Structures are given as C-alpha cells and as structure tokens.
Amino acid sequence: MMEFDPTRPKWQQIADTLRRRIASGEYPPRHLVSEVQLEAEFGVARTTIRKATAALREDGLIVTTPGMGSFVRDSGHGEER
C-alpha cells in the first residue's frame, strides 16, 4: 500500500505514480489501466481512481473506450504538445 502525503490530494499522487509507470514502460502502449485493480492496490474509493484517470486522459496519456476500459495511448497516435 502506498504511503500518501497528507498535504496533497490522493488522486494527484496516484496520477503521478501512473504517469511514472507509463513513462518507464512498466505500463506499455495499449496496457489496460484497470480501475478495479488500482482501487485495490491503493486502497482508495473508485471515485479517487476515476479522478486520477481523468487527469491522465486530459494529459493524453490514456484513452477510455466505453464498455472496454482505459488503455495507455499508443505513442504513435498521441497529439503533439
């Protein structure tokens, strides 16, 4: 279980952890980012995980397909920033 910094929202800390996993290749392109698994791993409510994944979606790191889930964006299809 992750030790959370009490001075920052948990969802931000989880989003930062997921960004690092994506950047390092631990979560490769098209990897399923499972809300259920993250909820269990971090011991937080689903709404907290959804805030974290929404931030990653806004950053263009993941894409969510209704009925299928959230996946790490294939780097070849990302938008230039």
- Would the pLDDT of 14 be above 60? yes
> Cα(2)–Cα(41) distance, rounded to whole angstroms?
8
Percent of the chain predicted with pLDDT > 90: 89
Mean pLDDT lowest among 15-24, 33-42, 68-77: 68-77
User: Is residue 29 classed as helix, strand or coil in its secondary structure?
Assistant: coil
Domains of the chain: 10-74 (1.10.10.10)
- Distance, in Å, from the CA atom of 71 to the CA atom of 69, rounded to the nearest integer, reads 7
| Lookup: tokens for 58 | 């806004």
In the prediction, which pLDDT does 80 show?
40
**50 pLDDT higher than 90:** yes
H or E stretch at 57: helix 46-58
pLDDT at 81 over 70: no
pTM, two decimals, is: 0.89
**Pick from 43, 74, 38, 31: which is nearest to 53 by CA?**
38
